[in-house]
Amino acid sequence: MTKRGFLVGAIIIAVLQTGAVGAMIYNRASQISGGKEVILESGFIDPRDLFRGHYVILNLVVGQLGEHVTEVDKPFSRREIVYVELAKGEDIFWTAKKLWHDLPDNAEGAYIKGKITLIPRGSRRTYRISFPYDRYFAPKKRAKELEKFRRDRKLGVVLALGKDGSGYIKGITVDGEIIYDEPLF
pLDDT at position 49: 55
Q: Are 33 and 61 in contact (CB under 8 A)?
A: no
pLDDT at position 14: 94
pLDDT at position 107: 65
**Residue 23, Ramachandran bin (φ over 0: left; ψ between -120 and 50: alpha; else beta):** alpha
Q: Where are the domains of the chain?
A: 35-181
pLDDT at position 34: 81
Q: Cα 95 to the chain's mean position, in Å?
A: 15
Q: What are the average pLDDT values for consecutive 10-residue runs of the chain, which has 185 residues?
A: 87 94 85 85 63 70 84 88 92 91 83 88 80 76 67 82 89 83 67
What DSSP assignment string belongs to 86-151? EEE-SSS-EEEEEEESS--TT--SEEEEEEEEE---SSS-EEEEE-TT-EEE--HHHHHHHHHHTT
pLDDT at position 115: 94
